[in-house]
Amino acid sequence: MPDLLGSAVYWLETSRSDPRPTMRGHHEADVVVVGGGYTGLWSAYHLLDADPSLRIVILEGETIGFGASGRNGGFAMTLLDMSLALLRRNHGDDAARAAHRAVAESVDEMGRTIEREGIDCEWRHGGLMVVATNRAQLERVELDLRTAEELGLDGFRRLDRTEARAEVDSPTYLGALREEHCGVLHPAKLARGLATVVEGRGATIFEQSPITDITESGARLRVETSAGSVTADQVVLATNAWAAHQPWVGRQVVPLYTYIALTEPLTDDQWRSVGWESHCGVEDKRNYVHYYRRTVDGRILWGGSDGIVHYGGRISPRHDRSAPPSPVFARRSAARFPSSTRCVSPTTGEGPWPSPPTSCRPSPRCWTVGCTPVWATTDTAWHRATRVARSCATRCSAKPPSSPSCASSTGRSPRSRPSPSSGWVRS
């Protein structure tokens, strides 16, 4: 299989759009949307659908789709941050049934909107195959299938080993769950196409306009940038992982990095060896899932593995590239499709996405000295990044940062520690 290339480069470079102006001077609006990713753009789209007369201003600190919205795996699926069985156990039958049906309808509605608005984002509604590669994963697949049947949910189907390999021919598959409510797409083209649609409906988009403050202005709100401001009745904060650097919600968000990469286009012989004719997305049933999919131009995208949170919750372009996941993708490729040549790759981040602090485990050592869990990193050194699966970051409230028993067992103090309550920070 050919070498992998950085996916963020691929997505963003293959979806170029003309730059939009920076906001300068003062503006008036009914609604200001802060953030030009999926959350902000879909919010603007549906607000204008409900009331076309609304004056909407969208402020994006970089360019449309710059964050995780423009460089993710490109799956539109019913994922709710937990399995269907766990959703049922945690929230009960009625809530689990209603939640799944709502997200399944959202996938279908996304496809209808893309078609209706003429957004060219390589949308393929091919479904999802959740595969099992060992007995424990097979038990989880079976549990989700039983849960779907007992809840009366449509769109699920059991695949045995032979049926799974007929979809995608990997000798590692023991069985699979097939779900129809899933599509794959070009994420940056969706974001930028949606931006064009909302502009056509009357919204105004400013790029390279990171906000510096939000203040009350009488009964309204005033949003400040370095070169201008806008006053509005409502503000929608749609900053995704960048919310970690905003004073009101910073403690509720951890910027979590995951990594993906794409192969060069496969040859016809390589595709025949893989036996993957459909555009279904694939993921496995491990705790930190591995996922992969075809692209329209004949590549395979690989993603998943552990999430990484960098020191102090920092978001930086230098974190978009990471060497450690490269061997993971190479081993995964060789294991799933051994008839293809070994895959060795650089990898590129999806960009940070928000995770709640409760997804991390605080260091027991730091609990004993009265520290508060904030961001995921090692419990031995604040300045090192690590996998969320291993331990959690702490911010010490009882001892100084240099304390070997608290923030840094190396005895070295970090250079700086940005506080989410210290004000607006532009990364």
Name the CA radius of gyration of the chain, rounded. Answer: 23
Cα–Cα distance list, 190 to 8, 102, 121, 150, 151 (Å): 14, 21, 5, 35, 33
Nearest to 311 by CA among 251, 375, 243: 375
User: What is the pLDDT, as a whole number, of residue 80?
Assistant: 84
Neighbouring C-beta atoms of residue 343, cutoff 10 Å: 23
User: What is the pLDDT, as a whole number, of residue 15?
Assistant: 85
Chain length of the chain: 427
Q: DSSP strand E in 289-391: where?
A: 290-294, 300-309, 348-349, 353-355, 372-373, 386-387
Assess whether pLDDT exceeds 90 at residue 427.
Answer: no
Q: DSSP strand E in 122-269: where?
A: 128-132, 156-160, 175-179, 183-184, 204-206, 211-217, 220-225, 228-232, 234-237, 254-263
Q: Taking all residues of the chain, what is their mean pLDDT, rounded to a whole number? A: 75
User: What is the pLDDT, as a whole number, of residue 364?
Assistant: 31
Assess whether pLDDT exceeds 90 at residue 415.
Answer: no
For the stretch 352-406, pLDDT in tens is 544 444 443 333 332 222 222 222 222 222 222 223 222 222 232 233 333 232 2
Q: What angle do CA 157, 163, 164 make, to 5 degrees?
A: 85
For the stretch 261-314, pLDDT in tens is 788 888 888 888 888 988 999 999 987 778 899 999 998 888 876 566 555 556
- What does the block give as tokens for 376? 């995921």
User: What is the pLDDT, as a whole number, of residue 188?
Assistant: 94
- In angstroms, the CA 198 to CA 392 distance is 40
Residue 244's pLDDT band, with cuts at 50, 70 and 90, is low
User: What is the pLDDT, as a whole number, of residue 332?
Assistant: 67
- In angstroms, the CA 80 to CA 219 distance is 36
Mean pLDDT, rounded, for 164-184: 94
> Which residues, 6 or more positions from 72, have their beta carbon under 8 angstroms from its beta carbon?
187, 260, 350, 351, 353
User: What is the pLDDT, as a whole number, of residue 369?
Assistant: 27
User: What is the pLDDT, as a whole number, of residue 256?
Assistant: 65
- In angstroms, the CA 193 to CA 264 distance is 25
Assess whether pLDDT exceeds 90 at residue 37.
Answer: yes
User: What is the pLDDT, as a whole number, of residue 361?
Assistant: 36
Mean pLDDT, rounded, for 214-235: 94
Assess whether pLDDT exceeds 60 at residue 409.
Answer: no
User: What is the pLDDT, as a whole number, of residue 277?
Assistant: 87
User: What is the pLDDT, as a whole number, of residue 388?
Assistant: 29
> Which residues, 6 or more positions from 272, have their beta carbon under 8 angstroms from its beta carbon?
none
User: What is the pLDDT, as a whole number, of residue 410?
Assistant: 27
User: What is the pLDDT, as a whole number, of residue 269?
Assistant: 86
For the stretch 76-104, pLDDT in tens is 999 887 899 999 999 999 999 999 999 99
Assess whether pLDDT exceeds 70 at residue 24.
Answer: yes
Neighbouring C-beta atoms of residue 125, cutoff 10 Å: 18
Q: Lowest mean pLDDT of 158-172, 203-217, 286-300, name the range.
A: 286-300
Locate the domains of the chain by residue range.
360-414
Q: Which amino acid is at 286?
A: R
User: What is the pLDDT, as a whole number, of residue 340?
Assistant: 56
Mean pLDDT, rounded, for 405-425: 30
- In angstroms, the CA 323 to CA 353 distance is 19
The pLDDT > 70 percentage for the chain reads 65
User: What is the pLDDT, as a whole number, of residue 362?
Assistant: 32
- Give, rounded to a whole angstrom, the gap between the first and last alpha carbons of the chain: 37
Mean pLDDT, rounded, for 148-165: 96
- In angstroms, the CA 33 to CA 25 distance is 17
Q: Lowest mean pLDDT of 9-18, 40-49, 237-246, 360-369, name the range.
A: 360-369
